[in-house]
Structure 1
Amino acid sequence: MNARPSALPRLRARARAFVFHLFRVAPLPYATGSVSTLVGAGIGGLSLELLAEGAVIAGACLALPATGWLGLALLCLADAWCRHREYRRIKRMLDRWGFHPRMLAPVSASRCQRDAALAAARQTGHHSKAHIFFRDLGYRWYHLLPDRCVDNPLRFFDPAFLRATFLPGKG
């Protein structure tokens, strides 16, 4: 009989820790994506029920918003993945060179980027300095939208904004 403990509980614990880590790095995109997935799945399920009952027009009309909600969920997931990449990049910089405000200045205009930077600073022991830096810039917990989108919400569709969002660290 094998006396070695099963690796499954350790694997579950590591997977759970990784998921919590992802949520700490990018809480807003993951929360928004989770809610969007639930809403999209709910509307999509209702749409499929209506299609099965023969209400084709009503089912098709509900399929459109369900697709939109699920598309939003995919966009949020892509944003969260990019925030995790940014977290790793900032963490490497903080490990290598220590804390310098100029490292965090480019990521200060977006709540999601600030969350990723704060998570990296927490991991490297610079959380209090990073928190004070963002606070001195005037950012508080309720500043959710990116600075550029507060003035003009249509900037969400601007190619330069999308490039800066999904390709962090690229010129």
Structure 2
Amino acid sequence: MRFPTFFRRTAPLLAFALVAGCADANNPGSGAGGLPTLTEPGIYNLLSARAVSAEVSEVTLSLKQLPGGVELASVQGELQYDAAALQLVSTALPEGIEGDVVEVSPGRVRFVATLVQGTAEPAILRLQFRGREAPVALAREMFSVRLEEVSGGADLADVTSTVRSERLLFVQGQ
């Protein structure tokens, strides 16, 4: 008899906790860890981070399409990072990408990339960072990406209008 009474009294409390915990699940910008979702068609910036050593982490900028299929030809833009916490160690363009990467000021990297062979979801930039004071765990809030020009398709059309820069995807790897 005591067991059903326990559940009857705690069920409303458990329901309230569930509702409160999920209250902003549809608001990707809220809270400390809300992740954007791929809900609209377009091109999304994807940053993948992984530790290279105890002190150095690598970040790769890729483009994710929804729906996929457009072979991209060129990309131009800017990546900003938290210069108070991070120091840029090196930059590189992945194999199959021609272009240039320049750190124009601490915290601001400009890039232009031409894909040798069109690719639908290319990795276009690799950067290595070290913490300024001590090793630091990379987080989405430390970065922003703005693509100024993206071209692709059979006619090399300007597809910049499909870029969803307000939704930076971030993946932390091992």
More strand by share: 2
TM-score under structure 1 length normalisation: 0.28
- Highest relative contact order (Cα 8 Å, sep 6+), 1 or 2? 2
Question: When you count helix as a share of all residues, which structure comes out higher?
Answer: 1
